[in-house]
Amino acid sequence: MNYRHAFHAGNFADVIKHIALARILTYLHEKPAAFRVIDTHAGAGLYDLTGSEAERGGEWRTGIARLMQARLSERVMMLVAPYLDIVRAFNPHRDLTAYPGSPLVTRALLRPQDRLVACELEPNTRRQLINALYNDQQARVVDLDGWTALPAFVPPNERRGLVLIDPPFESRDEFTRLANGFSAAHAKWPTGIFLLWYPGKDRRANDSLADHVARVANAGSSDARCLRVEFSVGPQTEDSGLMSAGLLIVNPPWTLADELRAVLHELEKPLGLGGAGRFRVEAIRA
């Protein structure tokens, strides 16, 4: 499949991914030492929900728009508040007109000592990203293919942080590249947090990727160091659009699994098509 950020900005998959991203970064705030975030396929940074690309599918209407209107428990509202506050900051008026991608979600949660490296190869998209970040001194936009950057930028000097790997899945071998790219980066930085996103259209490919990542992450350890998170808004068929997406989180914060279970349980109804949402959050071993 071809998952281009601009066409799907603010959809259910973005919502789940960015909630998880915000929870991880909030956890990293608990220690004063600096951290670095490396975003390997960063995209444009900010997406116009009134533009032709976002309007073509209108997926944000059943994603972020529904979340903004959902009635959530006090605990879950507290957990998603860092993410929703960022979205609201880009939409100061009542209507949703803009959606921040992962670089801007990340930038909003950096402290003065923290840094972001955002990789984007496509020239027009990279220019948009540079404009979105206003040449911020804490955020570096790199003209480099994400698969090349992945092993090159780890471990960071800070020795703490997160690698977000969210490719567009334009080529048939993207799952293989994701598995191999993660393995190479993890070998150099086994203590880093890794957040891998994947579309849920091919169960065999999903399971193979999860098995590979868990085997690498758990090598030599009795603990399960890989968390598998999936969310479906409805039955996935060959002819349907994206109905399911997943995250593999290596070295997750110890609170994350319980937090995501609480959040996703309350998002099944508002994000599911006809209330048919489903989720899974489980620690996995190879």
What domains can be seen in the chain, in order of their start residue?
5-284 (3.40.50.150)
Q: Which residues are catalytic?
A: 166
Per-residue pLDDT at 275:
72
Per-residue pLDDT at 172:
84
Per-residue pLDDT at 4:
59
Could you report the per-residue pLDDT of 14-32, keeping only the tens digit for each? 999 999 999 999 999 999 9
Per-residue pLDDT at 271:
96
Six-digit token string for 120: 């984007």
Which pairs count as long-range contacts for 233-242, CB under 8 Å and 24+ apart, including other chains? 233/12, 233/62, 233/271, 233/272, 233/273, 233/276, 233/277, 234/272, 234/273, 234/274, 234/276, 234/277, 235/276, 236/200, 236/201, 241/57, 242/1, 242/3, 242/8, 242/11, 242/13, 242/199, 242/200, 242/201
Is-contact 27 19, C-beta < 8 A? no
In DSSP terms, 117 is beta-bridged to 38, 140
Distance CA 80, CA 88 (A): 12
Per-residue pLDDT at 241:
82
Which residues, including other chains, have CB under 8 Å from residue 187's CB and lie 6 or more apart? none
Task: Please state, in angstroms and as integers, the Cα–Cα distance from residue 72 to each residue in 87, 150, 181, 272, following that order.
Answer: 17, 37, 37, 15
Does pTM surpass 0.85?
Answer: yes
Per-residue pLDDT at 97:
95
Which residues, including other chains, have CB under 8 Å from residue 194's CB and lie 6 or more apart? 162, 163, 165, 182, 185, 186, 217, 248, 249, 250, 251
Per-residue pLDDT at 1:
44
| Buried-exposed string 153-183: b where 16+ CB fall within 10 A, e elsewhere | bbebeeebbbbbbbbbbeeeebbebbbebbe
User: Can you list the residues of the chain whose pLDDT is less than 50?
Assistant: 1-3
Per-residue pLDDT at 3:
45
Cis, peptide link before residue 155, omega less than 30° from 0: yes
